[in-house]
Structure 1
Amino acid sequence: MTRQELEHQLLNLSLADKAEIIQSLTKNLSMSGKGITKTPGVCGGEACIAGTRIAVWLLVEAQQLGIREAQLLQDYPHITAADLVNAWAYADAHPEEIAAVIRANNEVA
């Protein structure tokens, strides 16, 4: 399908469908991993805070266990509040991935 064909189809959608697609694309473009990296061979290739080996799933699990952001920043002094925002945004954009990794790591433990 060409871009022009796709554009034609999009223009024929209802306003609600257009709004949903715009929201999805915006979320994907703005939160698809800014400050988050996946490097084969590093932390099993899991999503991590850029420049660290701190996995997003680990931070999400800590949050689920009731650990507050202030404590996470104290425990991991080389990350910033912006890094946590990026981690939460990544987790929100990829909930199934994060849940699966948390489950897998809890099964191993």
Structure 2
Amino acid sequence: MTLKELENQILALPPTEKAEIIQSLTKTISSGAKGISKTPGVCGGEACIAGTRIAVWLLVEARRIGISEAQLLQDYPHITAADLVNAWAYADAHPEEIEAVIHANEIA
């Protein structure tokens, strides 16, 4: 089966089954995704790109305001595209956590 054939089959599913597939894939990606760490005393213990002080919530917020992945990689030359994939997977798997941290860090 080709990727296109699989995509067509998934698109033909009812919304509830699509949601189940997304949840399953997100769990698989996030459980297999390396490179995100939470270290007490580093960035308040928030999820960061491993070995850095670059918080996942910060990357998510940057993307929301229109900063491209290419620009993020240029601004943070010590992270990779794979780090961004891991950050997006983590954010997708933990949306309440990310939203709470974004809200807590908003400038009043």
One-letter amino acid of the structure 2 residue matched with residue 89 of structure 1:
A
Query: Where in structure 1 are there 5+ consecutive unaligned residues?
Result: 1-15
Aligned residues: 91
TM-score normalised by structure 2 residue count: 0.74
The residue that corresponds to 2:105 in the other structure is: 105
Q: Evaluate the alpha carbon distance shift between residue 25 and residue 41 of structure 1 in structure 2; reply closer, same or farther with a 3 A threshold.
A: same
Q: Write the deviation string for residues 71-97 of structure 1: whole angstroms up to 9, x where unpaired.
A: 000000000000000000000000010
- Bigger Cα displacement from structure 2, 30-39 vs 42-51: 30-39
1:23 and 1:58 mapped to 2: Cα distance? Answer: 24
> RMSD value over aligned CA atoms?
2.2
SS in 1 for 2:105: helix
Q: Which runs of 4+ in 1 moved over 3 A?
A: 22-27
- String of CA shifts for 1:42-86, please: whole Å, max 9, x gaps: 000000001100000000000000000000000000000000000
Aligned to 2:75: 75
TM-score, L = length of structure 1? 0.73
Residue 30 (structure 2) aligns with = 31
1:1-109 aligned at under 5 Å gives the runs 20=20, 24=23, 27-32=26-31, 33-107=33-107
Could you say if the C-alpha distance between residues 67 and 23 of structure 1 is closer, same or farther in structure 2, counting changes exceeding 3 Å? closer
